[in-house]
Each structure stands twice: as C-alpha cells, then as structure tokens.
Structure 1
C-alpha cells in the first residue's frame, strides 16, 4: 500500500501528481522522465513555453511531437560495427532462429484512454499471482481469461495457438522468444496493447541461421540496445541538472528506456 501524501513529487517545481494521489515508484519515474524531456524541449525551442504540464502523466500532442524531435536531435546513438554484431549473434543465436514457435495463452488487461494504469497494474499483478499459485490439478487460467481478459481470445480461455515472432508485436516477442521458460511467466508482459499474463504451453525450436543471413536483424537489435542506453544516459544528465522532489531517478529504469 502506498503512502498518501499532501506534498506532490515535483520536477523543477512542476507537480507530477495531484495532492492526495499516491502513484507507485515506477509511475513517478515515468512521469518525471517525461517532464524532464518536456521541459528540455521548451528550453531547446521545440515547444511553446506556455505548453501546460499535466499532473496525471498525460502530455499534449505538441509536447509528444517535440519530445520525439528532441530525442532525434540530442540523443546520439552509436552505430554497431560488424565485430560487435558478430559477438552479439554468437551470444544470442537463439533469438535469431528461423521458425521458432510458441503455443501461448494470455490474459490481456488493455490500456485504453483514461484508464488508471496504476490500478490496472495492481489488478493484473493480483490475477498473475492467483494463476501462478493454484494447487496441483486446478487450473484457474481459463476462467480468469474468460472473465478478465480484454482480448477476444478470452472466450477460448486465452488460447492464442501457435505463434511465431512475426505474429506478435515486437515488444511482446522480445519477452517470449529465444528463451527456455515454460508455464505462466513470473512477471507481466508489457506491449502496446496493455499488460499480459502469459502462459507458454509449448516451445517449438527454430533452425539456427548463420550470421550473414540475419545480420540486419542483429544490427537492429544492437541499435535498439544502444538507443536505450543513450536515452538512459541523456535522462541522467537532465536529472542531474534538475531539482527533483519526491522521486528518485538514480540508476532506475523507466518504461521510456526499457
């Protein structure tokens, strides 16, 4: 349970939540990072000075566009060289296998406009705990999917059948493929659609591919990692020059850089 405080967290005096609201630490970090970027966009002349900051984590469309332009302009992402790509492939060859498929079922908690994401995450984590802590011989997943899931697959107990990487959103696939886990995953999977409780029922391994056949995908994977690292470092610089109250960004990941 989060402590309710009458003193909102702030970034350079801009409040991140209303008095009496108690966002969790991850939500506060996300809002603080977005606010740091919004303020930097104003200072860089990419956003009007009268752009209003929301204390609910929602920013204007103009601010979102300005932040995207700011990141493109000020966050330098190094291009991985051939040697780095080959090392990455050698260490993570399973991620680039061809034909790997998983038989999945899931429970989707959709993130829609106006939804209380903190409350939704708490509820999703509660359902995750329930389906992971059942007794032998009892399977609560089907009923939970039928009554809780926002996906049409809920009517089938959350069954998604066999899926390949190409069948999934990239951020969803990254959490599931190239691994060995079976059963209900111990953490929620985040995607553009919302929060997922996922069970891997079966894995069908793919065929290994030589580096030359997947060089483009390897380079894209390393470039994505480099982008996350560069954005994290950029945010750390902004945080170091800012006055932060009630939020700690030291060494912490946020959904912006995961």
Structure 2
C-alpha cells in the first residue's frame, strides 16, 4: 500500500494505471504506474491546498488543467529571447539546412538480417564487384546481373535521393560519403549495397526568420519541461511518502 501524506493509493488503482505505462517487465510497468499516481496525488493535494479547481469528490476536473494552474501560480517559466534563438541557430546549423541531394546507383546483394552466411557471402561478393568496377566494368552490367533491386533494369540508378527517402542505416552512410565509388559495401536490413555516387548537391541553410518560431517553441518547451521536473521534485522532497521510494537521480521526471 502506498500513502502520500496519509492518503492511500490502492493497489487496484496501480494495476489499472499500468495500461498507460508499457514496459519490458510487469515490475517496471508497476513502478512507472505507481510513480505516476504518486505525482498525480501530490499535484492534486497541492492544488486543493491552494484552492484551485477541485470537485466535491476531491479529484481534479483535469490533472493537466490544475497542473497548468499550479505552474501559473507557483512557477516562473522564462521564454527564449531573440538573442538565445539566434545563438541556437548559429550553433546548430545542420538542424536548419535543407537536405542535400544525391544522385546514385547501387547493386543490392540481398541477405536477410538473421542469415549470417548469406551476409558474409554478400560482403565477399561486394568486394569482388567493387574491384571489377574499379577496373572499369560497367555498373549497369553488374547491376543487371547481380542486383536484387528493381533498379537493376535502369542500370542500378536510384535517381536523386534526399534525407528520409531510404532506410536509416543506408542513409547514414551515403550522406556522409563523397561522390564516386564507395570503397566498401554498405550493410542494410536488405543486404549489402555496392554504391556509386554520381553527384552530391549540398543542402542550403534556411534563413533565420524562416525557423525563428520553430526554435523559440523548441527552447520554450525545453525550459518548461525542466521547470515542471523541478517543481515536482520540490513536492516530492516536501511530502511524506510511504510504500514508494523515489530515486530522484534516475527518475526521468527529474532530468
């Protein structure tokens, strides 16, 4: 049984709350549920103490509503200044650039992720094909013969690709590479790819005025989350909680 300032949280409430806290184990789900209910009770009690909108049964009309009222009454949350937004823009240019464009061709040597032998064979074959390409063999010829991708009918060409158009593990490698034949095959969930990048067009940095609102919203939300975590922390420290032990250094609410 958990008590928060002498108010009990029944076990059945914790069990009912578990559906909202998926976890790797039942124990983890129960701990997350208990933590959520303890915090909700602390907020409810504080709202009632301050005379906020609590109904006759002692439950808040909406936890989010009275949390907002508590924050408005007890927490000062600063907003990002123009200078802070400009500084964030200058320090994080990659976040505000349009995607580069790649024009490339590939040969897909298919191998399932869990087929170790097939993947080893694909790596060996990719080395052999790269060697042939380095010696002048046509990419189109090898693609038509070896590739498991429909692009083999167009010489292995994938046309122009921007970020987000292919799987992440393939994308990470090709967008960090320079034009030309890649010296090693790239592994993906589909197998091993032999890749030739014909052209790379760098992305363009978006102007500050186009992203200022986005930056401001991001920074304001980051500050707000920190303020909420600190406020909850103060309620936990001041409370008499039995049956549940907050590990403040590990709780994601206090990060």
TM-score w.r.t. length of structure 1? 0.48
Between Structure 1 and Structure 2, which shows a larger proportion of helix residues? 2
For the pair shown, which has the larger CA radius of gyration, 1 or 2? 2
TM-score w.r.t. length of structure 2? 0.48
